[in-house]
Amino acid sequence: MSTVVLLACTGLGLGALYFLVASGLSLIFGLMDVLNFAHGALLSVGAYAAWWAATDGGMGFWLAVPFGTLVGTAASVLLELALIRPLYARPRDQILATVGVGLALPALLMGIWGSDARPFPQPAALSGTVNLLGATVPVNRFVLMAAALAVLLLLRLFLARTRYGLIVRAGVEDRAMVTALGIDVRKAFTLVFAIGGAAASLGGALAGLYFGSVNPSQGTGLLVFAFVVVMGGTGSVTGAAVASVGVGLVQQFANYYTTAGLGDLSVVVLLAVLLLVKPRGLTGRLA
């Protein structure tokens, strides 16, 4: 029983991390049909910014995480303004450009700080464990779950209760009509990129807690599973949350009870079955 509880908590923590990466990616894909392959690199930027702030920058963990999130958000906005916006009408070039950035940013981080993983400082309050139904579960798993739940609630409030949230939802359904009404959809695009970058960079900062270290390719590795989550919850934040939980749990249980590495294959098979049964994802809508 304790093993099942530990695997479940670890899977939920990993799923929470996937959701933080995939939530913004889902918004970007749902609104703009943009497959941002540089999204994982933004996670690495946020992770390294938080790591630098907590070590060389002299900030504590509780200030380093907002700092890393802010840096990742700024990088995301810069990416949209300088690279994505001029290529909205050229989706093929858009993909190539984001792939290039997704390769260049980790290489830049590697050139500055090297390819070795850097230990991420663990605050005393989050470095302990909790006894749950006989299992000893690291506290940081619950921190990730709480962060993912907060992001989910804030995104749903944003989409349902704010003017720009309504513009985003309307733009998903009929972008041409929204533009014809005189609404500048480009501002909504930039805002969505900022939100996506904030969520991804927050995930990067908290990934240091989960893995205990940061490395330049961390975001790229997580991006693969984030795309699985996005495809499972096509265009839907809620669908992405449900898919994240499923991916994290399946991966953990399959890796433990079968051959190591089979969990990754199980996730891909799960996605294939889901898309065959429900081609529009779990919910088929943005909220």
Question: What was the pLDDT predicted at 241?
Answer: 85
Question: What was the pLDDT predicted at 226?
Answer: 81
Of 11-25, 42-56, 225-239, the range with the lowest mean pLDDT is 225-239
Half-sphere exposure (Cβ direction) of 207: Cα atoms closer than 13 Å? 35
| Composition of the chain by helix, strand, coil, percent to 5 | 75, 5, 20
For residue 16, give the nearest of 242, 224, 286, 269 by alpha carbon.
242
Span 166-172, average pLDDT:
70
Write down the pTM of the prediction.
0.86
Backbone angles phi, psi at 137, to 5 degrees: -110, 130
3-state secondary structure of 174: coil
For residue 48, give the nearest of 20, 67, 29 by alpha carbon.
67
For residue 198, give the nearest of 39, 36, 30 by alpha carbon.
39
Question: What was the pLDDT predicted at 174?
Answer: 65
- pLDDT tens-digit map of 199-241: 888 988 888 888 888 888 888 888 888 877 777 655 677 878 8
Half-sphere exposure (Cβ direction) of 250: Cα atoms closer than 13 Å? 20
Q: How far apart are CA 21 and CA 199, in angstroms?
A: 6
- What percentage of the chain carries pLDDT values higher than 90? 9
Span 80-108, average pLDDT:
85
Who contacts 19 (Cβ-Cβ below 8 Å, separation ≥6)? 148, 151, 152, 229, 240, 241, 244, 245
Answer whether residue 280 shows pLDDT above 60.
no
Q: Residue 122 carries which DSSP code?
A: P
